[in-house]
Amino acid sequence: MASIFGDESADEKAQTVFAVAGILGFDWQWNMAVKDWLEITKGEQFHAAEWESKYAKHPDKTKHRERLESYKQLTRVVRLSGMRGWGVGVDLAAFRSAFPGVTQDAAYHKCFIEVADRLLREAEKFGYQDLKFTFDNRQGQGTTGLLYDYISNCEEWTDALSFADEISFGNRRNPRIQMADLVARETMKGFERHLKGFTFRKSLVALASSNYRFQFDYFTGDYFAQWKAKLPEMEKATGLYASEYFAWLQKKKMQHNLNSELRYLIWHDAKALKEKNGAQE
């Protein structure tokens, strides 16, 4: 059995960078990592955004130094766990500039799909099976569930991998979610510092130097500009035309939003499969 645990992270005002990260591991790897993790946190709930800064202004400076050292040790637990991880970040300003009508949820689901895709490729390459997805429950569960249904029924993956029936959602009391939170924050902070021209944090460098077990990818303005320019070509290649989508919305009496787009994508694929099977009969 193997599991993927994931979480997201954004800058303080959620205006600059958004990131999602996931960690893939066999159950025995997770169990060993959790044991080491709890020894360091001593049962205290880990929130990556707060852990380092909790004692930053405390008059006893040793408390802050101890906190920073424990963060370093927790990073080491993840790095040496033998598990694999991916973090994906989006430049929110560039995303909004290219697609003014998108919502913040779109950035989350873009990152979710990209992380899932990368981890599934890792799973296929290294022999992970019986995959179970568990993500933090702060983001919209309904649409994420639709995305998971789409992924877990995609022939590209089901031919090589087996999935749990549905995605699960956890909370920060779960040490596995906490580990994913650490990687998500390092993904976000790394991208934020990159955009500002600063050097990467030592904790991110430590994860990235784990013999390609933890990898990171960032989507910048150039990516979204190219993505937007290719939309007409993609419509022609896939048959997913905006005119047909909006006609479908009107017929179904639905509003245009990300949830509707996902439902349309699933409907379109089912329609194409039905037509393909009909042609073969």
pLDDT digits (tens, 9 = 90+) for 177-193: 999 999 999 999 999 99
Whether the Cβ atoms of residue 104 and residue 18 lie closer than 8 Å to each other? yes
Tens digit of pLDDT for each residue in 153-166?
666 666 656 676 55
Give the total residue count for the chain. 281
As annotated, the residues of the chain forming the CATH 3.30.420.10 domain(s) are 2-229
What pLDDT score was predicted for residue 262?
64
Q: Distances from the Cα of 167 to the Cαs of 98, 146, 149, 238, 241, in angstroms?
A: 31, 10, 8, 27, 30
Q: Distances from the Cα of 31 to the Cαs of 38, 139, 175, 254, in angstroms?
A: 11, 26, 10, 45
Q: What global pTM score does this model have?
A: 0.82
Mean per-residue pLDDT, 188-208 = 94
Mean per-residue pLDDT, 98-110 = 77
What pLDDT score was predicted for residue 66?
94
What pLDDT score was predicted for residue 38?
97
pLDDT band at 276; cut points 50, 70, 90: low
Question: How far, in Å, CA of 211 to CA of 199, rounded?
Answer: 21
Domain 2-229 sits in CATH at 3.30.420.10
Lowest mean pLDDT among 128-137, 230-239, 242-251: 230-239
pLDDT band at 171; cut points 50, 70, 90: confident
- pLDDT mean across residues, the chain: 85
Mean per-residue pLDDT, 194-208 = 93
Closest residue by Cα to residue 201 from 213, 185, 215 = 185
Mean per-residue pLDDT, 208-233 = 89
Question: How far, in Å, CA of 90 to CA of 110, rounded?
Answer: 8
The residues pairing with 138 across neighbouring beta strands, listed in sequence order, are none
